[in-house]
């Protein structure tokens, strides 16, 4: 509680930086792990500054054996770092960071005497709607392509629960709000719409669960204090159709909703061509991610009632979170 020392990974990321703020606001001391900055990498908004209650250590989840000393003295670990990418070139690295890195970090935490860990998973690990019923913590997603981000989160949870450190997993849905500086795929969707780059609606009649990023951060603090060891907690906000998301964004940004809906077959074919382009050009980023197209006609709806009961999770309005995201992008020069 309170003044305990927490080892936090992913503190420069969108969700991780909000978790850092929530931990400090609740009186915790934080030791934040950050990656060594790569040449040419611009991380202005992701910088974490050391302060009286936060010190910064540099390390890599691919070399977790080096982290044992940094973990000593920490009562808890909050593991939020992950590689989220749809690029074919990153698929091997996704598994190395998200799965092998998690197992290695928790092994190092055990050696360092950490009491327990809260691991940030994803609602992707429970899958989408099941016969019209929103997914719950009792559901496990079907095994997908081993190289996909969503499969990595499934394997990450399995690795976490197999560790020798008592573990709780928090499964956020799609966080939205201020500070999504990279941005995440959900943030890019918001940003592209605000820039008028959305020329067509996604195929199908799918939807997703959006959640305010600040609520996700608070749920991690609650998981430290009240979460039950060995349990999973879905942290969501509202189940909304993609069409409703476009409607809210249109009202917030003043942009028009595209009239044309992309046929699924056309989107899938374009994604296959884009996949081939990215394989031939290793530095290329996908314009039409194959994984994203496959998800576009699914209803990725969840039930967060367990987190509401046990973690006092009280999700706020998604529209307000979208407004905060757009306001932040405008204030920070992403929108002209």
CATH of the domain at 304: 3.40.50.720
Q: How far apart are the first and last CA of the chain?
A: 44
> Could you give the CA distance from residue 94 to residue 100 in angstroms, rounded to a whole number?
9
CB 220 within 8 A of CB 109: no
DSSP string across 23-85: HHHTT-EEEEEEPPPPTT---GGG----BTTEEEEE--TT-GGGGHHHHTT-SEEEE------
Angle value at C-alpha 175, between 8 and 207, nearest 5 degrees? 145
Residues 6+ apart with CB under 8 A from 263: 203
Is residue 265 in a domain?
no
The answer as to whether 156 is a domain residue is yes
189 found inside a domain: no
Question: Residue 262 falls within a domain, yes or no?
Answer: no
Are the C-beta atoms of residues 82 and 10 closer than 8 Å to each other? yes
Asked if residue 135 is part of any domain, the answer here is yes
Residue 256 within a domain: no
Domain annotation covers residue 41:
yes
Residue 40 confidence (pLDDT): 44
Q: Are 303 and 134 in contact (CB under 8 A)?
A: yes
With 0-12 / 13-18 / 19 or more C-beta atoms within 10 angstroms meaning exposed / middle / buried, residue 142 is exposed
pTM greater than 0.95: no
Q: How many domains does the chain have?
A: 1
**64 within domain boundaries:** yes
Q: Which domain does 49 fall in, by range? A: 5-179+211-239+300-318
**Given the DSSP bridges, would you call strands 54-58 and 76-79 parallel, antiparallel or unpaired?**
unpaired
Residue 264: per-residue pLDDT: 74
The reported pLDDT for the residue numbered 262 is: 80
- What pLDDT tens digit does each residue of the chain (336 aa) get? 557 999 999 999 999 999 999 999 999 999 999 987 654 444 566 677 777 899 999 999 999 989 999 999 999 999 999 987 777 677 778 889 999 999 999 999 999 999 999 999 999 899 888 788 999 999 998 765 555 778 889 999 999 999 999 999 999 999 999 999 999 989 988 999 999 988 877 776 789 999 999 999 999 999 999 999 999 999 999 999 999 999 999 999 999 998 888 877 777 787 777 777 877 776 777 777 766 777 777 889 999 999 999 999 999 999 999 999 999 999 999 997
pLDDT score recorded for residue 79:
98
């Amino acid at each position: 509680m309170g003044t305990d020392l927490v080892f936090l990974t992913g503190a420069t990321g969108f969700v991780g930086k909000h978790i850092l703020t929530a931990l400090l606001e609740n009186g915790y001391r934080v030791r934040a792990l950050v990656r060594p900055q790569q040449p040419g990498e611009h991380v202005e908004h992701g910088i974490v500054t050391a302060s009286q209650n936060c010190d910064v250590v540099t390390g890599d989840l691919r070399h977790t054996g080096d982290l044992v000393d940094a973990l000593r003295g920490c009562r808890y670990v909050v593991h939020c770092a992950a590689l989220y990418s749809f690029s074919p070139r990153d698929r091997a690295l996704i598994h190395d960071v998200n799965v092998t890195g998690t197992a290695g970090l928790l092994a190092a935490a055990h050696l360092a005497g950490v009491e327990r860990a809260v691991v940030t998973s994803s609602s992707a690990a429970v899958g989408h709607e099941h016969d019209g019923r929103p997914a719950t913590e009792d559901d496990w997603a079907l095994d997908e392509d081993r190289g996909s981000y969503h499969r990595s989160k499934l394997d990450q949870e399995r690795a976490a629960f197999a560790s020798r450190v008592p573990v709780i997993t928090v499964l956020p849905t799609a966080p939205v709000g201020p500070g999504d500086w990279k941005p995440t795929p959900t943030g890019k969707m918001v940003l592209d719409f605000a820039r008028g780059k959305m020329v067509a609606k996604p195929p199908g009649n799918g939807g997703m669960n959006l959640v305010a990023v600040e609520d996700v951060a608070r749920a991690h603090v609650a998981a430290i204090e009240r979460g039950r060891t060995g349990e999973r907690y879905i942290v969501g906000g509202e189940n909304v159709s993609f069409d409703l998301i476009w409607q809210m964004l249109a009202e917030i940004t003043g942009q028009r909703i595209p009239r044309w809906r992309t046929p699924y077959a056309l989107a899938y074919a374009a994604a296959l061509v884009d996949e081939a382009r990215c394989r031939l050009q290793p530095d290329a980023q996908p314009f039409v991610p194959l994984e994203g197209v496959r998800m576009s006609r699914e209803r990725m709806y969840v039930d967060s009632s367990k987190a509401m009961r046990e973690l006092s999770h009280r999700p706020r309005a998604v529209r307000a979170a979208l407004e905060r995201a757009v306001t932040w992008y405008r204030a920070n020069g992403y929108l002209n």
